[in-house]
Chains A and B, each alone.
Chain A
């Protein structure tokens, strides 16, 4: 318990508060410079309280911000889950086999730099359904970081670990579950962390394109079309905080799967 209130945590809390204050100050300044075209933090706070008054409202004609957030998260979860499900084994495979690497790597190199948004119309053409198209888009863009990091992990297993396997005659299965997987795990989680970051960024853009549901739709419809810049700011804050939480979850996992030698 003592550690929580150590000097180190206190200073980091202090730095955090300073950062927040600085951001608030800049925000305040910008809103004055734009003659309140951009609302001040205080004005935004009022709108924020109003928006979250009934977050889980789920009527056919109006859905609360919590409902929208959950629908966005659900789509990210499905797309990211499917993407990881394919990227992890494929990454481990190409990391372990030079032949697989030679075949798969050029494909990855060509497809990886494509903007995730470019996949949206393709998904639309395939599924004829915009929510599914945004899941497709998330699926594609969460493949690459996980794939590349899993491959990196699998191809960089230290000779020491391979020697143990060789010296004691590990079976292929034992090598896979006792050496390859545990060693690659921290790299895989790094990949997942990057993937979920990209996925969370892309879902907002996807929902702006697809409309109907999610936080992206909220930004576009209620914020921009509804003429409330404060709502756009509220959405930006919610998106930012959720993104941060997702990142922290994967960071904690990363720590858990990194071992001192």
Chain B
């Protein structure tokens, strides 16, 4: 009698330990979300009735053509856009506003041009983490700037940095508030191909350093980037009233190697699949 109780409680303990590993909690839950805007010609619906769940520690890309509402959908997660219908939850809480549990990296870096690299990050940390002491905040800024190898450039203004460096500042700023969810809105879109490749590797390195616990959602229109970084790629239909066309799994083992991965057969078939989902005309012969 007593033995059975012990064994069941042992099971319970084991389950409690294993459960989050085998079946991680949902970091983001998007439920039947519709976003409409008032436009000059009536109401414009950007995304319609979208549901999507992202697990903790997952990297998910939203991909689609320009204006397909992927940034709008991302906005509902960051709290910058309010859904017209439906709810979005982050770590179980309904999102109403931006919060320090979600770090955002904007497409055009969005650094304040009159503040030094250091100050740009410090002001964000200072605003987002009000309970920390000044010394703790300074420590966070220093650690994150060193992490992206920009400590020696800390006193420069953003105008004196290259595009890649600016984006590293923006990433350091998002990491500095230590969010459990990282939202990247076309983060590498403005960078040249070489810088972009380096940034992909650096981003994954940061994610690894953090024991792959951060959930990352990224908006992109770059198929290779989406496959290299993500666990799942969400392909969206063209707007208006965009919906999810298909969700493609990327079961490639990590760590992934940029050079080797392109020769991997699974990679190639995912690449082909994504291309055919995104493009329906492949040569001029297909245009009638």
Contact = CB atoms under 8 A, between A and B. Distances in A.
Given A163-B80, A178-B115, A259-B157, A168 B127 contact: yes
Contact of B127 (A163, A174, A259, A261): A174
Nearest to A165: B127
Contacts of A261: 113, 158-159
A174 B127 CA distance: 8
Interface residues of B, number: 26
Contact of B112 (A166, A167, A182): A182
Nearest to A174: B127
B124 A168 contact: yes
Contacts of A259: 113-114, 157, 159
Given A174-B127, A259-B157, A169 B110 contact: no
A168 B106 contact: no
A178 B123 contact: yes
A183 B115 CA distance: 11
Given A164-B110, A166-B80, 9 more contacts: A161-B112, A163-B80, A168-B124, A169-B128, A170-B123, A178-B123, A259-B113, A260-B159, A261-B158
A169 B104 CA distance: 12
A174 B124 CA distance: 10
Nearest to A164: B110
Interface string B145-165: 000000000000111100000
B108 interface: yes
A41 B78 CA distance: 71
Nearest to B166: A261
B112 A164 contact: yes
A161 B209 CA distance: 30
Interface centre among A179, A183, A261 (most CB of B within 10 A): A261
Interface string A162-188: 011111111100100011001100000
Interface centre among A164, A168, A170, A182 (most CB of B within 10 A): A168
B100 interface: yes
Contacts of B110: 160-161, 163-164
B22 to A, nearest CB: 34
30 contacts: A160-B110, A163-B80, A163-B104, A164-B111, A164-B112, A167-B78, A167-B80, A168-B124, A168-B127, A169-B97, A169-B98, A169-B99, A170-B123, A170-B127, A171-B127, A174-B127, A178-B115, A179-B112, A182-B112, A182-B115, A183-B114, A259-B114, A259-B157, A259-B159, A260-B113, A260-B158, A260-B159, A260-B160, A261-B113, A261-B159
Nearest to B124: A168
- Say which size band chain A's interface belongs to: 10 to 19
B177 interface: yes
Dominant SS at the B interface?
A: loop
Closest 6 CB pairs of A and B: A260-B159, A259-B113, A182-B114, A168-B124, A160-B110, A167-B104
B124 to A, nearest CB: 4
Contacts of B106: 160, 163-164, 167
Interface of B: 78, 80, 97-100, 104, 106, 108, 110-115, 123-124, 126-128, 157-160, 173, 177
Dominant SS at the A interface?
A: helix
Given A259-B159, A260-B159, A160 B108 contact: yes
Contacts of A183: 114
Contacts of A166: 80, 98
Nearest to A185: B114
Nearest to A158: B110
Given A163-B80, A178-B123, A261-B158, A169 B100 contact: yes
Nearest to A161: B112
Interface string A226-250: 0000000000000000000000000
A179 B115 CA distance: 10
Contacts of B108: 160
A181 to B, nearest CB: 9
Contacts of B97: 169
A226 B159 CA distance: 58
B193 to A, nearest CB: 23
Nearest to B119: A178
A166 B127 CA distance: 10
Nearest to B128: A168
A13 B113 CA distance: 34
Given A169-B98, A182-B112, A164 B124 contact: yes
Contacts of A164: 106, 110-112, 124
A174 B240 CA distance: 37
Contacts of A163: 80, 104, 106, 110
